[in-house]
Amino acid sequence: MVLAGKTVVLCVTGGIAAYKAADLTSKLRHQGAAVRVLMTESATQFISPMTFETLSSNRVVVDTFDRNFAWEVEHVSLAKAADVFVIAPATANVIAKAAHGIADDMVTTTLLATKAPVVIAPAMNTGMYDNPVTQQNLETLRQRGFHIVDPAAGRLACGDTGRGKLADTPDLIWGIEKALTPQDMAGKRVLVTAGPTQEAMDPVRFLSNHSSGKQGYAVAARAAMRGAEVTLVSGPTALDTPNGVCRVDVVCARDMHEAVLARAETQDMIIKAAAVGDYRPAETASEKLKKGDGELTVTLARNPDILAELGQKKRPGQLLCGFAMETQNLLDNAADKLRRKNCDMLVANSLRDKGAGFQGDTNLATLLFADGKQETLPLMGKDALSDIILDRLLGLAGGV
């Protein structure tokens, strides 16, 4: 877990959304982080420091000149202790101070002293958020390397509707984890395919497979966390879109073929984790096929081979990674697929291996490379495997 053992200095400023910071504190603790809370005087009008002391098991600091603590320059010690510095909610006033280096309370003096990555989560009235001054201040902070977690849109406490609601806790945690994650894929454009395809027989029935999409979604999520610009072309799944990912929904193999090929040219890496149907019914009935007394024969037509076409059209410097799920002769079949499809890397696993099948949260894979090398990996979570896949592709990119 990214947050385990990390110290999060959480600054709560004076807005109605301050109460949401209590849930954030609780969730951070559940993920193994130590949380030190700073509050502005205005924030204490919305929620009690005792709430955060109970949730964090640490004293909350409000007054820069508080004498009731062990001797140390506290704003400096907290600035040094922070692995990540978070302001949530961040008012327009604090954002303006941060953008212009004003340090006149415990929050802003500690912010100015820290060398930790900084996450700012704005929360305010829509008019204040959309004001060009606020937007310019946020852009200034972005250019300085601050991580901004954009607010949500909806009905605000003041009765207005629009942007300005503090982002939900999962989105805040994602922003904090991203700030703690090396952005080694920044500037890379990555296309990932995931999930099954569904090939219609009639308006009711279709041919498909057991893919859940979990491995492809994990690859997309980790690439985005590491700074890549990620497009996820997904067949039908029950999974939520990962943070920071642009998702394109498709249903059948021909839809996926069109979506992928339309975007392929601009990508630095293409990772084909989807379980695409090789065949489809040659004809799709316009009405439901009724049960008869005899057998039903369905003629199948071959679907386009997306991976092979990508391999044929691969531009110089572009990396192509395929997947192979087999039930027999895993490495021989995978090596043949790698060669025929002109892949740079292929992730092979067997349905026969415990922990490596569809639907699960783990995988057991062997990585095969175009130069003939192979890397056998132990059983691991799909997130962990995703990071290894991305690491190896980055290594190949360094040699392109």
Q: What is the pLDDT of residues 346-358, one digit of tens each?
A: 999 988 888 777 8
Radius of gyration in angstroms for the set of CA atoms belonging to the chain, rounded to a whole number: 25
Question: Is 246 in the active site?
Answer: no
| Six-digit token string for 159 | 């009765």
From 11, 158, 246, 252, the catalytic residue: 158
- Going by DSSP bridges, is the β-strand pair 229-234/245-249 parallel, antiparallel, or unpaired? parallel
Task: Name residues of the chain where pLDDT drops below 70.
Answer: 64-75, 399-400
Distinct helix (H) and strand (E) counts, the chain: 13, 21
8 Å CB contact between 153 and 130: no
Q: What is the pLDDT of residue 400?
A: 47
Q: What is the pLDDT of residue 67?
A: 44
Q: What is the pLDDT of residue 156?
A: 74
Alpha carbon of 66 to those of 11, 60, 72: distances in Å? 17, 11, 11
pTM, two decimals, is 0.91
Q: What is the pLDDT of residue 193?
A: 98
How far apart, in whole angstroms, are the C-alpha atoms of residue 217 and residue 245?
A: 10
For residue 240, give every residue at least 6 positions away whose Cβ sits within 8 Å of its Cβ, in sequence order, or none. Answer: none
Domains of the chain and CATH, by start: 7-180 (3.40.50.1950), 189-281+300-399 (3.40.50.10300)
Q: What is the pLDDT of residue 399?
A: 52
